[in-house]
Structure 1
Amino acid sequence: GPAAGAILGGVFGITSIIINTFSPTVTSFVFSPFYSIGEYSGNMYSLIIALVPRILIGIVSAYTFQAIAKKDKTKLAAYSIAGLLGSLTNTILVMGGIYLFFGQSYAAAKEIGYETLFRFIMGVVAVNGIPEAIVAALITVAIGKVIRPVFHQYSN
């Protein structure tokens, strides 16, 4: 459900903070308030970017699944749309948060002009985010069809 999804998403977010703190890249400051490189520094907004979208993956996916599963006997549409929307939630909120909270610094770190940053981010969403969402939809169906009967068996 949504609570379990939020907890798993929180673990994903915390893992992201840890990785970007201890094994950083040039743009790790957007995911870790503990990382700085040159003039680019993470801050409390880094926590928002690292945690909120990831927590919302589980919440959005759970509510989407619950709403669609009521009318979807096979659950195929419920799994796929939940996976798709969960993935898009993460991509859009992370990239939107980067633009909103770290636009100037992120553009400089990526060595692109700030005036082109919005197009760059839309390119990332189109080239990476949409295919990721499609793959997430397919994987969610495959995993859900295998795992749900097991959980259902132990919950009775």
Structure 2
Amino acid sequence: MNTNYTKNSKASDVAILGIFIAIMLFIHLISRIIYSFWPFPIQPTLVHIPVIIGSIVLGWRKGAFLGFVMGLISFLNSTLAPIPTSFLFSPFVPHGNIWSLFIAFIPRIIVGILPFFIFHLIKNRWGAGIAGFAGSAINTILVLSSAFIFFNDQLNMTFKTLVATIITTNSIVEAITATILCTSLVPILLKFRN
């Protein structure tokens, strides 16, 4: 095996991961600025989209790492700039506990893993769209279900309310956005990777 090729490949992968992380941070910061003036109650989360795309293009291990970074962003944001629901993502704010770390990290890591396998069942543009939709839906379902299981004393939700929240909140906008972006960008990025 050519060691120079291996070193260049690893360096390239680290650079690509760095680009994905920079995109995630950029999306997070721009979202915070926009949503401070946003007049609507729906505030879509878009940071998970680079995680989904990274999972498909770079593989599930790097996708899991990007998911971990997304969880870290959520954890740090909730700890350093808390809002009323920050206890769901940080044990260091009032009402938070160890399960806050579970919610911050585990669903996001799973979002970095599953799209890779979904895409590899249908290796085309439509498979990328389905993986994008599924990754976004998984993020919403796992975060809200975990909140329901671990923090229902604070949230006081019924199961019916949980299901209605999953269906009617940002989840539809997020899933459609992820589907469109994955369908558009994944084939292009895969060509560059090959």
Q: Please state which band the TM-score falls in when normalised by the shorter chain.
A: 0.7 to 0.9
1:142 is aligned to 2:191: no
- In the other structure, the counterpart of 2:11 is none
- In the other structure, the counterpart of 1:122 is 163
Partner SS for 1:24 = coil
- In the other structure, the counterpart of 1:132 is 174
Deviation of 1:42 (Å) = 0.8
Partner SS for 1:25 = coil
- In the other structure, the counterpart of 1:83 is 132
Aligned length: 135
Deviation of 1:122 (Å) = 2.1
Tell me the distance in 2 between the aligned counterparts of 1:62 and 1:35: 34
1:35 is aligned to 2:93: yes
Deviation of 1:117 (Å) = 3.8
Gaps (5+ residues) in structure 2? 1-58
Worse-superposed segment, 54-63 or 121-130: 121-130
- In the other structure, the counterpart of 1:110 is none
Residue type of the partner of 2:176? I
Tell me the distance in 1 between the aligned counterparts of 2:121 and 2:112: 14
2:74 to 1, 16, 20: 16
- RMSD of aligned alpha carbons: 1.3
Tell me the distance in 1 between the aligned counterparts of 2:162 and 2:174: 15
- In the other structure, the counterpart of 1:52 is 106
Equivalent residues of 2:125, 2:184 under 8 A apart: no
Deviation of 1:123 (Å) = 2.5
Deviation of 1:131 (Å) = 3.0
Instruction: List per-residue Cα deviations over 1:4-27 (Å, max 9, x = no partner).
Output: 110000000011000000011011
Identical residues among aligned pairs (%)? 36
Residue type of the partner of 2:152? G
